[in-house]
Amino acid sequence: MNGLFEQFSKEFQNLLGEFKLPLENPILTFSLLLLIILFSPIILRRVKIPALIGLIISGVIIGPNGFQLISEANMKTGFVNMFAKIGLLYIMFMAGLELDMQEFRRYRNKSLAFGALTFFIPLLLGYPTCRYALGLNETASLLTASMFATHTLVAYPIVSKFGISKMEAVAIAIGGTILTDTAVLIILAVISGSDHGVINTSVLAHLGITLSIFSLIMFWGVPKISRWFLSKLESEKSSQFIYVLSILFFAAFLAEVAGIEGIIGAFVAGLVMNRLIPHSSTLMNRIEFIGNALFIPFFLISIGMVVNVKALANEPWAWAVAGILSAFAIFSKFLAALITQLIFKMSRPERQVIFGLSTAHAAATLAVINVGYTMGILNIEIVNGTVILILITSMTASFVTENAGKKLLISQTKNEPLEGPSMRSQHVLVAANELKGNEPLLDFSVLITDKTVMNPISVVSVLENDEEAEMRIRRSRKHIDDFITHYNSGEINVHAMATIDHNLSSGIARVSKELVADIVLINDNSKINLLKRLIGDDRDHLLNVCDKTVFFCHFNHAFSSYRKISVVCPAYAELEQDCNQWLERVMRISRELNLDIDVYSTRETFEKFKAYRTYRKFAADLMHFPIESPEEIVEKLSGFGDNQLFISVFARQGSVSAFTGMEFLPQRMEKENTNLDYVFIYPSQSASDLSYAAYDDMSGSPLAAGVETIQRLSKEVGGMFKKNEE
């Protein structure tokens, strides 16, 4: 009995030893940090303090300079340091990955202007301040002043959470951040590569060569490899995620080898992968989730751990230095944002968002201070003052961005244009009647769907009503549930169902009415033959019984392989009652995949494209190729490569944009280029909304259509006899 008690007592003592401060057990340390990440936002939300501030303050409390729950060794070399570095790289990577490249190109001049202002204003104000107010030498003054110019997107998770990461103000702030951080880090690389601060031409030449090699690898080599890799592993979602992370850290490593900080490499990796990863895809959702839930909070906690409260309490001059540095850093960023607002006539919330995103100093600032202190250029007072600056500016950025982000979101929502029925009430029905080939169709439905809709997508399998119907329904439901599982793990909820009907087309039409769907997606992989033309094509049957907008889709290649979108429209397509509906979807595809749009249409239809782009605030680049009829594009299809998505808009019989021979055009297009990825769109039609009055020159020609049908059938029959003779 005594032996058992002694053993229990010994185990209890060992357990207490694990809680000895600072904590050394990595599992216990990791558990503590996870609890902080979990409860800190919940507690501080009650007192209306941003979650980011809570994580930074938590780092101050538990760090080696606070209550010493985390050891200094763990913070500098242990897994805490590793996770913090990953979190910092992740912030920069996500900033590049989520950047709307169309918006960035649209506002590139504004980004350049803001980047110049946010670089030169802090530099011009900071240099004389450090030189004369703090008494630093020329090199130390330049290095410290360049620190004022840096940004760290500490508050970026806030704008991402609010869903405003694609707005103009955010695009300008991110563009300016990259420009100024790159400039500062190049200055840092030059100084760190110099001999005790003395810069020579060999340092500049070496940096130029290494940066050129880095750019060549990242902007030429990595996109080619990534496009091939992601297309080959399209069905392996986990492998795609691991590959993206590998590119992130490989790019950061290459940047360090090139002589610049890894954060620039991480951002470049985000830019490179931007076009290859659709912003609404499951892969993007997984990337955002792991960063926001784990890595980025570790980085924010690590910022607080750097603060040495005890040293600051014993050094009053450090507080003075911190006050001067923080005041000039915040004022210079506010001045840059204010001038940007005045030049481009932006709103107050937009200015505040730009100011909030550009105020925080952390990543590049720490790099500057570390290099300066290691080389003996900066003293310990500047280092301690900079740590306080990081804390103050990070808290300021979080407060300002959260408040301004809410105001900007509210103002944008109030001014958001609506076309016909609200965009938030749209519903997409995916018809999945085959056991294979439905994943690309569902991926496409995610691309064209608004994330803010509560239940935007339904997948339905319509089965024939026969003696095996019940067995096939069970098998179909299991298959659908299995393949939509990873979609429901994202932000978009997918509803699945299986039903029976005497006819597939009638079943799809019935379900589309029951679910109040506005668009039906069909996997269009069937070949059209003579028998189907005689007794009725499946497409024609569906269009006769279903009054919804129907997308017939055929995908052979991964979406990441597309380089542009080609859209072909008949004359008067802009007058169809649901023209805006398919225009919205085409614009969404362009934005999600960062692709330009070539429009083959009449001038009037192209003007509708441009007007809708402006009205809905899309930023797609449009190129016009004038044609009067889609038939003009058929002979050109053979020259279309497999690196583009071909979208052709058709019309239902009797509609305002219908034309003679239209019913044979899809088959001719398929025959002309069998390797083409296409979407054939048939807008919904309501006779009460037709607008024929403005087009007096239009007339029906059923007789001509009948003659053309007979001619085509006779040619096909003749072709069959020729084959038999051979």
The domain segmentation of the chain, as residue ranges, is 84-410, 425-548, 556-691
Backbone angles phi, psi at 552, to 5 degrees: -90, 115
Residues of the chain with pLDDT > 70, as a percent, come to: 83
Report the DSSP beta bridge partners of residue 198: 195
List the CATH code of the domain at 556-691: 3.40.50
Q: Is the pLDDT of residue 689 over 50?
A: no
Whole-number Å distance between alpha carbons of 546 and 519: 10
Q: What Cα–Cα distance (Å) separates residue 476 from each residue in 203, 237, 471?
A: 66, 22, 9
Q: Do 556-691 and 84-410 have the same topology in CATH?
A: no
Q: Is the pLDDT of residue 714 over 60?
A: no
Q: Which of 69-83, 103-117, 179-193, 375-389 has the highest mean pLDDT?
A: 103-117
Backbone angles phi, psi at 166, to 5 degrees: -100, 5
Whole-number Å distance between alpha carbons of 185 and 177: 12
Report the DSSP beta bridge partners of residue 457: 428, 494
Going by pLDDT thresholds of 50, 70 and 90, the confidence category of residue 692 is: very low
Q: Where are the beta strands (DSSP E) in 43-107?
A: none
Give the residue with greater pLDDT, 342 vs 198. Answer: 342
* Tokens, residue 198: 């003395």
pLDDT of residue 472: 73
Hey, is 624 helix, strand or coil?
strand
Residue pLDDT, tens place only, 182-229 = 788 777 777 766 655 555 677 778 888 988 999 999 999 999 999 888
Integer Rg of the chain from CA: 31
Task: Give Dmax over CA atoms of the chain in angstroms.
Answer: 107
Whole-number Å distance between alpha carbons of 702 and 707: 9
pLDDT of residue 487: 66
Q: What Cα–Cα distance (Å) separates residue 276 from each residue in 228, 232, 280, 556, 721?
A: 10, 13, 12, 16, 48
Q: Is the pLDDT of residue 253 over 90?
A: yes
Report the DSSP beta bridge partners of residue 597: 565, 622
Cα angle for residues 591, 432, 589 (degrees, 5° grid) = 5
Q: Is the pLDDT of residue 643 over 80?
A: yes
Residue carrying structure tokens 């998770």: 157
Least confident of 44-48, 148-152, 350-354: 44-48
Least confident of 18-27, 191-200, 260-269, 561-570: 191-200
Going by pLDDT thresholds of 50, 70 and 90, the confidence category of residue 420 is: very low
Task: Give the alpha-carbon dihedral of 201, 204, 206, 210, to 10 degrees.
Answer: -170
Least confident of 159-163, 531-535, 628-632: 531-535
- What is 84-410's CATH number, 3.55.50.30, 3.10.180.10, 1.20.1530.20, 1.10.3720.10? 1.20.1530.20
pLDDT of residue 125: 87
- Cβ atoms of 434 and 460 within 8 Å: the answer is no
* Tokens, residue 716: 């096909």
Q: Report strand pairing: 644-649 vs 622-626.
A: unpaired
pLDDT of residue 699: 44
Going by pLDDT thresholds of 50, 70 and 90, the confidence category of residue 493 is: confident
Hey, is 648 helix, strand or coil?
strand
Element (H, E) at 158: helix 156-162
- Cβ atoms of 679 and 569 within 8 Å: the answer is no
Q: Is the pLDDT of residue 688 over 70?
A: no
Identify the CATH class of 425-548. alpha beta
Q: How far apart are the first and last CA of the chain?
A: 100
Going by pLDDT thresholds of 50, 70 and 90, the confidence category of residue 622 is: very high
Give the residue with greater pLDDT, 182 vs 692. Answer: 182
Q: Is the pLDDT of residue 607 over 50?
A: yes
Q: Is the pLDDT of residue 268 over 70?
A: yes
Q: Report strand pairing: 549-554 vs 677-682.
A: antiparallel
Give the residue with greater pLDDT, 174 vs 280. Answer: 174
Name the nearest CA neighbour of 674 among 558, 523, 522, 525: 525
Mean pLDDT, residues 136-149 taken together: 84
Give the residue with greater pLDDT, 532 vs 337. Answer: 337
Whole-number Å distance between alpha carbons of 187 and 123: 12
pLDDT of residue 698: 45
Average pLDDT, the chain: 79
* One-letter amino acid for residue 515 of the chain: L
Cα angle for residues 399, 300, 127 (degrees, 5° grid) = 70
* Tokens, residue 58: 């938590």
Q: What DSSP letter does each residue of 444-495 carry, written as one string?
A: HHHHTS-TTSSS-EEEEEEEE-STTHHHHHHHHHHHHHHHTHHHHTSSS-EE
Going by pLDDT thresholds of 50, 70 and 90, the confidence category of residue 703 is: very low
Q: Report strand pairing: 596-601 vs 564-568.
A: parallel
Least confident of 211-220, 395-404, 519-528: 519-528
Q: Is the pLDDT of residue 433 over 90?
A: no
Going by pLDDT thresholds of 50, 70 and 90, the confidence category of residue 130 is: confident
Q: Is the pLDDT of residue 691 over 50?
A: no
| pTM for this entry | 0.74
Backbone angles phi, psi at 259, to 5 degrees: 100, 10
Give the residue with greater pLDDT, 28 vs 250. Answer: 250
Q: Report strand pairing: 519-523 vs 549-554.
A: parallel
Give the residue with greater pLDDT, 457 vs 190. Answer: 457
